Amino acid sequence: MFKKISWISVISLLIFAGIMGASFGNEKDATSAKGKNKKVENVIYMIPDGFSSDYASNYRAYKGEEVVWDSHLKGLFTTHSADSDVTDSAAAGTAMATGEKTNNGVIGKDPDGNNLETILEKTKQHHKATGLVATSTITHATPAAFATHVEDRNNETEIARQLIESEVDVLLGGGMSNFIGEGEGGKQENGELMQKAQDKGYLLAENREEMLEQNIDIKNDEKLLGLFAEEALSPELHRKDTEEPSLEDMTMHAIDQLNQNKKGFFLMVEGSQIDWAGHDNDPAYAMSETEAFEKAVQAAIDFAEEDGETLVVVAADHDTGGMTTGGYDQMDLNANILNDVTATGEYMANQLDEERSNVHEVVNTFTGFKLKEEEIEFIKTAEDPKLAINHVVSERSTIGWTSTGHTAADIPIYAFGPKSESFSGILDNTDIPKLIEEAMKLK
Ligand SMILES: [Zn+2]
């Protein structure tokens, strides 16, 4: 009998020790995630458009080491829109900005056409500073979903007008043509928006250097409108030949400006072109855009770590291309070879001559590959040489694709900072802004 009790005691002790060990372990994690129980004053919401877990896996192989978001994975979420299993960026952006489902193509409105309040608008009501950063036009679906309300995502000139009306403090991206009047060579049918923006207190910047020099005085209601290209910014692969800021540059500059507000800020940063790489099935474009996005996330986390009251949420809006990690009956992951690729497939295709007699020369110049005869023939005879080049580069880097559109794959969500644990488990895209709202105590 005594023996039995003592065994029970030993077992209970072991269990107790196990529990204590586990809880000490958790406590260690909690202290390492600085300020876990602090309030959330600032949110940096980072959206890599078109990214999914296969992009994460391939990007780790491309980089060859741990990625900044790896240790902050919290859960997965579903992405369907109100009218489709597969969402577009407008409905996904609306869900991620407002917590409500809408139809594909619609921005900031429900399926009946009623305006939905966005998380950015709510933070503004709480006198926080706000910002939107993108590498597409700033009037593109994802940034638009945070501050505008239109039936048709393609109405980018109306989105531009509403962005200026909304008085978001910092707007950085492309899409100058949507703000300039038709008379001045732009697309804006309701007259010049640049003057209107200045009347509202916006300072302007048109390249990286001008942006870095424009430090706004938020207390005096100054704002910043940085439009660095007529349309989208250049792909990261080609940016070095331009005067455009990187996504990391824009993110850091936006944080510097918004952080002047004592009540905190809300910033949305989009890595817009990962999605476009997915539509093109272009693996080097996808990995280089993901790399540029990772640098921006690193900058945000560095700030959050120092600040202690900043929540960083990283969540894509949907998968694009149905990317696979490995494929083609190969057993290796070869994404690392993409580090040597220096142009997008589209750029390479545009360098081909009429007869495509220079396929090998062009592809070799921008990839370093020595093409096999059948690869040259495949590109020469393909209906779409861009897709054919991308197919060859994909097969060599063992990155597969199942679509040139979006898919309904569940998307990983990563979070860092106070209240980051609330993003754990299986979520829906509409849960994300609600959890942010709760974390910021906006209700
Ligand atoms: Zn998207």
pLDDT digits (tens, 9 = 90+) for 291-339: 999 999 999 999 999 999 999 999 999 999 999 999 999 999 999 999 9
Element of type H or E holding 130: strand 129-137
- Distance from the CA of 90 to the center of ligand 1, in angstroms? 7
pLDDT category, 10, cuts 50, 70, 90?
very low
Q: Is 136 a catalytic residue?
A: no
pLDDT category, 37, cuts 50, 70, 90?
low
The residue from 89, 272, 394, 420 that is catalytic is 89
Strands 406-407 and 319-320: antiparallel
Residue 314 · residue 70 · CB < 8 Å: no
Nearest residue to 401 via CA among 323, 303, 295: 323
Q: At 222, which amino acid appears? A: E
pLDDT digits (tens, 9 = 90+) for 253-267: 999 999 999 999 999
- Distance from the CA of 248 to the center of ligand 1, in angstroms? 20
pLDDT category, 190, cuts 50, 70, 90?
confident
According to DSSP, the residues that pair with 425 across neighbouring strands are: 75
Q: Give pLDDT, residue 443.
A: 84
Nearest residue to 419 via CA among 439, 402, 397: 439
pLDDT digits (tens, 9 = 90+) for 118-158: 999 999 999 999 999 999 999 999 999 999 999 999 999 99
Q: Give pLDDT, residue 432.
A: 98
pLDDT category, 21, cuts 50, 70, 90?
very low
Domain borders along the chain are 42-323+407-439, 335-396
Q: At 267, which amino acid appears? A: L
pLDDT digits (tens, 9 = 90+) for 401-434: 999 999 999 999 999 999 999 999 999 999 999 9
Q: Give pLDDT, residue 410.
A: 98
d(CA 316, CA 51): 5
3-state secondary structure of 253: helix
C-alpha torsion sign, points 62, 374, 383, 361: positive
Residues 6+ apart with CB under 8 A from 357: none
Element of type H or E holding 415: strand 411-416
pLDDT digits (tens, 9 = 90+) for 333-342: 999 999 999 9
- Chosen CATH of 42-323+407-439 out of 3.40.720.10, 3.40.50.12780, 3.30.70.3340, 1.10.3720.10: 3.40.720.10
3-state secondary structure of 229: coil
- Distance from the CA of 410 to the center of ligand 1, in angstroms? 14
- Distance from the CA of 438 to the center of ligand 1, in angstroms? 25
- Distance from the CA of 183 to the center of ligand 1, in angstroms? 32
Q: Give pLDDT, residue 303.
A: 98
